[in-house]
Amino acid sequence: MNLIIDVGNTRVKAAVFKGDTLQKSFSFEHSEIKDRIEKIKETFQIKHTIVSKVTSVIDTDLQEMFKNEHFMEVSNTSPVPFKNAYKTPKTLGVDRIALAAAAIHAFPNKNSLIIDAGTCITFDFVSQEKEYLGGGISPGINMRYKSLHAYTNGLPSLNPECPRELIGRNTEASIHSGIINGVLNEIEGVISKYRMKYPDLTVVLTGGDTNFLAKQLKSSIFANQNFLLEGLNSILIFNSSK
């Protein structure tokens, strides 16, 4: 069994794979990582583990926890099943590396755009020649809500909510309309620009806000909340076979 651990900005996601097949997935707080991983190890016969960390808040020695298994932590120097054509490869986040690997595994020889809607919204493009070219980064939904409250004197702190109508008739409704419609139009607009250049484009939506956004987008997409975990698993398999 393969154990996949993705330490994100806000939460930890983990999954157990048997080969390419997802057996079970988990999501928990940073503070729970040691106890939750130990319980996973007690339940499943873990032979290989891969970890991706986009934050340094975790001080647990994960490598020590897996000293009896094959352990790998993804970095921008890790062997991957694609050519990294990013102009500053040392600055490329490990989450974006994993998403590119997932696209290569799921859609080989396809032009793919992966949209990760989480703390940030990232756009990552992989060509049909298996080259990672780059993409874009913008604030995520929750970040936009928090920034309106933090950087103004009068706007309230709100939780994300689908706007009931286009025209906000009060301050709260205006915030919901502005942020959510702004994000939807941003995503639709980026997809449209990519499709003008790559008409055969495959688009994947992933990340914590996948379900919230997928039903509201008009573009044809594949929605897969586990896409990053699948990418990490493909990197682990790629390196285990060496």
Domain count along the chain: 2
pLDDT computed for residue 30 by the predictor: 84
Q: Are residues 122 and 192 in the same domain?
A: yes
48-53 and 70-73: which strand pairing? parallel
Q: Examine the domain organization and report whether 129 and 189 are in the same domain.
A: yes
CATH number at residue 33: 3.30.420.40
Q: Render each residue's pLDDT in the chain as its tens digit; 242 residues.
A: 999 999 887 788 999 999 999 999 998 988 888 888 889 988 988 889 999 887 665 555 666 777 666 888 898 889 999 999 999 998 999 999 999 999 999 999 999 999 999 989 999 999 999 999 999 999 999 999 999 999 998 899 999 999 989 999 999 999 999 999 999 999 999 999 999 999 999 999 999 899 999 888 888 889 999 999 999 999 999 988 66
**Domain limits at 24?**
1-73
Residues 81 and 67 in one domain: no
Backbone φ and ψ for 18, nearest 5 degrees, come out as: -110, 100
Radius of gyration of the CA atoms of the chain, in A: 19
Q: Which of 20, 35, 59, 95 is catalytic?
A: 95
For residues 67 and 88, membership in a common domain is answered with no
Look up the pTM and report it.
0.88
Residue 18's contacts (CB-CB under 8 Å, 6 or more residues apart) are 1, 2
Annotated binding site: 6-13, 86, 93-96, 116, 119, 171
Annotated binding site for substrate: 86, 93-96, 171
Neighbours of 79 (CB within 10 A): 9
Q: Which residues define the annotated binding site for K(+)? A: 116
Q: Are residues 83 and 59 in the same domain?
A: no
| The pLDDT value given to residue 57 | 54
- Does residue 69 share a domain with residue 111? no
Say whether both 175 and 126 belong to one domain. Answer: yes
Query: Which of 73, 89, 118 is a domain's end point?
Result: 73
Same domain, 82 and 186: yes
Based on the fold, state whether residues 24 and 109 are members of the same structural domain. no
| Cα 116 from Cα 224, distance rounded (Å) | 10
Q: What is the pLDDT of residue 219?
A: 84
- Residue whose C-alpha is closest to residue 122's, from 177, 178, 54, 198: 54
Active site residue 95: yes
